[in-house]
Structure 1
Amino acid sequence: MTDLRFERYFSGKARDYLFRSIDLALEEDGPDLTAMAVFAPEDRLTAAIVAKEEAVMAGLPIAPLVLERMGQAEACSVTLFAADGQRVANRMVVAEIVGPAITLLKAERVILNYICHLSGIATMVAKAVAALAGTKTRLLDTRKTLPGLRYPEKYAVVCGGGVNHRLDLAEMLMFKDNHIDRAGGIPQAMAALRKSYQGHMESMPPVEIECRTLAEVAQAIAEAPKRIMLDNMDEPTMREALAMVPAGIETEVSGGVDLDALAGIGALGPDFVSVGRITHSAKSADLSMLLKETTA
């Protein structure tokens, strides 16, 4: 089963980052000396990856990539019985791997670490997206990701039905409180930015402005950014702020958003709500790898 979404997402530098994280994980584990002592090179195992709870899958195509990075792709066969983004039932076999025993025993934990972690994110995201059902508000992730795992974690957000915010600091220019305070205000911050792009404004990435007060919202509107973020506002202030923003400027709610608050925020009608906990606090999905000897 080829996952085209995975292939499209992990191209270019995203694929390079993924390979580097897999290589580091394999290097951290070192050689499996116990497996090498007990199993002969010709011994083979069949490994079934089994869901031990209902979950939304993410990261299944990483399994063959781990074997590829080990130089063992040709010695192993991988069959995926589920696709990323699919909700699977408890006890479902989501993948099967056949290969040299020493290879599978070394790869086991690395493969499970990815799939369990990413599927946990996708499962939490799916729950959050369901809370926004019936509204126009889309769920955004943040840059609150584990170092070295930003692309896999943000991919898991997409698998769960969420939307990626900027992947790095250059993809969208965001004025946050520190920038605004240092510049002396939103107009001054935008003037400094435009000056830095003087002569090549067409190359300037889209701009988002974080606002803490209604006065800042008014200032931000005058600058006509792509998006205005309403940061840590209570519901009455948020409602008033959203009413101020004209069509053509996107709105985003952010700041300590709890999953229980999503339905209420969606009812207010912002374009986006960003939630850091969908990556930094997602519980890993429970999957295991069951191995048995095979003569295949």
Structure 2
Amino acid sequence: MLTRAVIDRTVAAALAEDAPWGDLTSESLIPAHAVARAELVAREPGVLAGAEVFEAAFRLTDPAVRVELRAGDGDRFDTGDVLATVEGPARGVLSAERVALNFVQRMSGTATLTSRFVAEVAHTGARIADTRKTTPGLRAFERHAVVAGGGHNHRFSLSDAVMAKDNHLAVLTASGLSVTQALQTAIARLPHTTHVEVEVDRLDQIEPVLAAGIGTIMLDNFSIDDLARGVEQVAGRAIVDASGGVTLETVRRIAETGVDVISVGALTHGARALDLGLDMAVGLPDPV
């Protein structure tokens, strides 16, 4: 979850990375009493994510800088829209500018891409979900952006749910147990509240996995025809999650097979930063 504590800790680290010994340029060129007013302007249409993160970059740099948000996470905007205004000591505004933009551009890019996937499947019952293919240290930010774009979060970490993939099953069955027996043995050791998902890559693997009583079955890299057959075979006995090479060009057909969830790694690892700019005016206060 993207809490204020998580935002402040990560943004503070980013600011320290960007100016470990201060902002040499602003401190040497900009008078200490100079003030600045800036507008966060959209250079292209999109969906906003990271508004609070944008604000935090300025607040943590200089508490005297004031940020007024004119849009919130999940809001759509057009080219030329003003999404926020920033006003205060010029040194603080200039020092925080790059970090603030880096976060809001990346997060809005993820939200915007997610919204496009969601639009493609809106006529079906399928959910668009992210994966653990996130930037190390930024998972909460990227996952938040997915939700802002209308998507859903898969398990947040390895600690949240059981998700057995082919390598897990290979180890499990090495002792001679069948897939069904191995899964049942493992499930028996889990708390009753723990969700279990198992990945398969062939139609003939579906029945042995379902026989173990799992909650979700992931059909990985199935063809469109085999996805439809798999959904029919599962017949509501588990949630059906489709994954593997999902693109904007293929996601509609995948959703129309009747799957419940479509996991899309590209939401986080393939989104480009959206083009947002900070248009700034710097001046000196009127003499008293």
2:38 corresponding residue in structure 1: 47
Q: AA paired with 1:10?
A: L
Residues 12-41 of structure 1 show CA distances to partners (whole Å, capped at 9, x for unaligned) of xxx443333212211111111110011222
Is residue 245 from structure 1 mapped to residue 234 from structure 2 by the alignment?
yes
Is residue 138 from structure 1 mapped to residue 131 from structure 2 by the alignment?
no
- Are the equivalent residues in 2 in contact too, given 1:179–1:189 (CA < 8 A)? no
CA distance in 2, matches of 1:168, 1:16: 19
1:160 corresponding residue in structure 2: 149
Gap regions ≥5 residues in structure 1: 1-8
State the SS of the aligned residue for 1:289. strand
Is residue 37 from structure 1 mapped to residue 17 from structure 2 by the alignment?
no
- Are the equivalent residues in 1 in contact too, given 2:59–2:65 (CA < 8 A)? no
Superposition pairs of residues 39-118 of structure 1, within 5 angstroms: 39-70=30-61, 72-73=62-63, 75-118=64-107
CA distance in 2, matches of 1:248, 1:23: 47
- Are the equivalent residues in 2 in contact too, given 1:117–1:283 (CA < 8 A)? yes
- Are the equivalent residues in 1 in contact too, given 2:7–2:56 (CA < 8 A)? no
Q: AA paired with 2:2?
A: F
**Match for residue 186 of structure 2 among 163, 188, 193:** 193
2:159 corresponding residue in structure 1: 170
Is residue 181 from structure 1 mapped to residue 170 from structure 2 by the alignment?
yes
2:2 corresponding residue in structure 1: 10
State the SS of the aligned residue for 2:125. coil
Q: AA paired with 1:134?
A: H
Displacement of 1:221 in angstroms is 1.1
CA distance in 2, matches of 1:263, 1:195: 37
1:5 corresponding residue in structure 2: none
1:263 corresponding residue in structure 2: 252
**Match for residue 286 of structure 1 among 261, 275, 279:** 275
Is residue 128 from structure 1 mapped to residue 121 from structure 2 by the alignment?
no
**Aligned residue pairs: how many?**
279
Percent sequence identity is: 35
Displacement of 1:239 in angstroms is 1.2
Q: CA RMSD in A?
A: 1.6
Instruction: State the TM-score, normalized to the length of structure 1.
Output: 0.90
- Are the equivalent residues in 2 in contact too, given 1:135–1:267 (CA < 8 A)? yes
1:6 corresponding residue in structure 2: none
CA distance in 2, matches of 1:125, 1:76: 32
Displacement of 1:248 in angstroms is 4.7
Instruction: State the TM-score, normalized to the length of structure 2.
Output: 0.92
- Are the equivalent residues in 1 in contact too, given 2:42–2:78 (CA < 8 A)? yes
Q: AA paired with 1:149?
A: L
CA distance in 2, matches of 1:234, 1:21: 40
Displacement of 1:116 in angstroms is 0.4
CA distance in 1, matches of 2:86, 2:8: 20
CA distance in 1, matches of 2:237, 2:9: 40
Residues 75-120 of structure 1 show CA distances to partners (whole Å, capped at 9, x for unaligned) of 1211111121111110111100101111111100000000000100
Gap regions ≥5 residues in structure 2: none
Comparing 18-27 and 162-171, the one that deviates more: 18-27
Q: AA paired with 1:186?
A: V
- Are the equivalent residues in 2 in contact too, given 1:170–1:205 (CA < 8 A)? no
CA distance in 2, matches of 1:187, 1:163: 29
Displacement of 1:195 in angstroms is 5.2
